[in-house]
Structure 1
């Protein structure tokens, strides 16, 4: 059978206040084209459907349209919630999803409720254990729902996850394509840059050994960088379909296409998604920036390597209309080991001037503006 594995859509994400729904709409359109061209039997979306737990109505409309379009290619669709999602809100839509031919798991239920089964057009049987994101505070409750015995008092998050995965995969058979999908951090995975740090730190990391060798393929979400993880079975993060911030500008967004049969190791290849607007960083002084030739379509982050002065940011913005971040990065700083000048007995204007000099902002125009504002405040105070 053939699987399209994707995750971390973050529908509704913005870039420094710039909406990106149009970009995401184009990406999903291309993803549907890939699913149709590859004639996939199953689409797995491994969490973080939305960027926020309170998505806008436009974001919700786009998500459900994309999922319906993927199902419309003839593929089964399995979806789990991620840490950015409101799992209970997604679970409330489960009846709609089922009617639309989409297997949605937003929050935890009984163990059997998280196992989805199906059969391809060619008669290949598959079974998918679908586990939504579990916060640490809910790990014990998950064990209770799965009707597992009490864990030891010293049990940590990884211990709880190991028991949950064992319960979900215990009936994996040799004549079936056995799949697992979840939204979690596996030891050895490299973060992409846009993940929520609190949910990728060591306390949330689980070893790859929690997945049994009987698993044909593990489709993970949470880490935005596409990568394979060494383990007892094929384990992979599909990567995000577009870079959510500049920490991911060197990524190649895409989806994983998996070919797998019962008892045969999965073969995985990445199909790039080129519809997303790229992110790019440029650096230099104003003269160097004027000669730069960044991608005309890219969202830009600009580092200006010269001392700050009045109007510099505006000049850079004129050079790069697509700049969403402009950082003035002075290259000339006073040696901090030198003692600062005496402050007592000096006028506010002198103190402000010294502050500008110490921080590499020796700009007469700014100093003059400070003097005018200070004089105005003193005049008002005297009149009162």
Structure 2
């Protein structure tokens, strides 16, 4: 049986204020085509289908189109809710879908599989929706953390696998021990900080499909994150986009994971970070090839420049972020700020000491020193005539 593992579509998410719906549509169309080309039997979407608990109408349309496309390609689809999704809204969507598309949002269904059959017999798919510990304490006594609820959920899965026998897959949305999150992107899955689930919690199934981390990661041959199909941050621009293709034989998944293949997805617009002075960014030919990319510009001029975003957009129409990142000036003066103030011989040197302090060692330029001198001279003339 061939299984495609994807996650974290985040339908409706913006990128630095820009809509991503059309770009995501093109990527999900490519994913549907992969399912068709590779004759995939089962597609798993491991949470965070929507980016918001209140998605716009266009997000519902894209989800319906994609799920319909996957079903038309011949695959059974299992979707679970993530920490971004509203389980109620995603669950409502399930009632409008055709046979073969399963949307799992209720904790009460944990341990009850969706069963798909091939020539070797059944494969039991256990969808675990995002579980909020505070809402489950009266149902599952003793749970306090994500580790608690995921361990309890997997205990239910393992017990059912022992009764049914056959091959098994589980799906969850969480931070697992050993992952490398993208800074400032994957929001805390529990208020107050990360709540890590140990790898041991996922034992007992042939394959564990995880969601929440936006970059692909392999925690073991049987435990993997597929990541998001679209880039949502410059910090993840270097991470490939795609999904895992898993093939189960009659005995399940080989221990070494050799039957797992990465299927890359297209990147609609590349993400780049360009670093140079503002004049170089605006004119240097080495940046000419990035006019069609999403650009984060870091200009290294010692001082902030006037209206840099407007000027950069003239060359890079998709410039999404501008940062002032001055290069620390090198100075042979090892004195502290206090020492420079104490040894200043006049007010001009006091100003120069202050500028060197706030600019990491770079004092007044020749033009600035000239202006400071003129202002001090003017003050002296005014005081003399007062």
Verify same fold: TM over 0.5.
Answer: yes
> Structure 2: which 5+ residue stretches go unaligned?
343-350, 372-386
Question: d(CA) in 2 for partners of 1:33 and 1:295?
Answer: 29
Question: d(CA) in 2 for partners of 1:358 and 1:23?
Answer: 43
> Structure 1: which 5+ residue stretches go unaligned?
144-149, 343-350, 369-384
Question: d(CA) in 2 for partners of 1:63 and 1:336?
Answer: 62
Show CA shifts across 1:51-100 (max 9, x none).
Answer: 11111111111111111111111100000011111111111222223x34
Residues 1:129 and 2:126 are matched in the alignment: yes
Mapping 1:51-90, distance limit 5 Å: 51-90=51-90
Question: d(CA) in 2 for partners of 1:94 and 1:254?
Answer: 25
Residues 1:162 and 2:151 are matched in the alignment: yes
Mapping 1:219-258, distance limit 5 Å: 219-230=209-220, 234-258=222-246
Show CA shifts across 1:309-338 (max 9, x none).
Answer: 324443333232211101122235699941
Question: d(CA) in 1 for partners of 2:192 and 2:229?
Answer: 23
Question: d(CA) in 1 for partners of 2:44 and 2:251?
Answer: 20
RMSD over equivalenced CA pairs, Å: 3.1
Show CA shifts across 1:182-213 (max 9, x none).
Answer: 11111011113421135498652111111233
Show CA shifts across 1:329-378 (max 9, x none).
Answer: 22356999414989xxxxxxxx9xx889946898999xx9xxxxxxxxxx
Provide the residue aligned with 1:119 in structure 2: 117
Q: Which moved more, 1:316-325 or 1:52-61?
A: 316-325
Residues 1:184 and 2:181 are matched in the alignment: no
Task: Flag the 1:160–1:357 CA change in 2: closer, same or farther, 3 A.
Answer: closer
- Contact kept, 8 Å, 2:6 with 2:244, in 1: the verdict is yes
Name which one, 1 or 2, has greater alpha-carbon Rg. 2
- Contact kept, 8 Å, 1:185 with 1:205, in 2: the verdict is yes
Aligned partner of 2:317 among 306, 315, 321:
321
Aligned partner of 1:206 among 187, 192, 197:
197
- Contact kept, 8 Å, 2:272 with 2:294, in 1: the verdict is yes
Poorly superposed stretches of 4+, deviation over 6 Å:
333-336, 354-357, 360-365
Question: d(CA) in 2 for partners of 1:160 and 1:13?
Answer: 28
Question: d(CA) in 1 for partners of 2:19 and 2:363?
Answer: 33
Aligned partner of 1:276 among 268, 293, 298:
268
Q: CA deviation at 1:156?
A: 4.1
Show CA shifts across 1:205-235 (max 9, x none).
Answer: 111111233x1111110111111113xx711
Aligned partner of 2:187 among 193, 196, 204:
196
Q: CA deviation at 1:279?
A: 1.3
Task: Flag the 1:110–1:10 CA change in 2: closer, same or farther, 3 A.
Answer: closer
Question: d(CA) in 2 for partners of 1:176 and 1:39?
Answer: 22
Secondary structure of 1:171 counterpart: helix
Provide the residue aligned with 1:309 in structure 2: 305
Question: d(CA) in 1 for partners of 2:31 and 2:262?
Answer: 12
TM-score computed with the length of structure 2 as normaliser: 0.80
Q: CA deviation at 1:115?
A: 1.8
- Contact kept, 8 Å, 1:129 with 1:169, in 2: the verdict is no
TM-score computed with the length of structure 1 as normaliser: 0.80
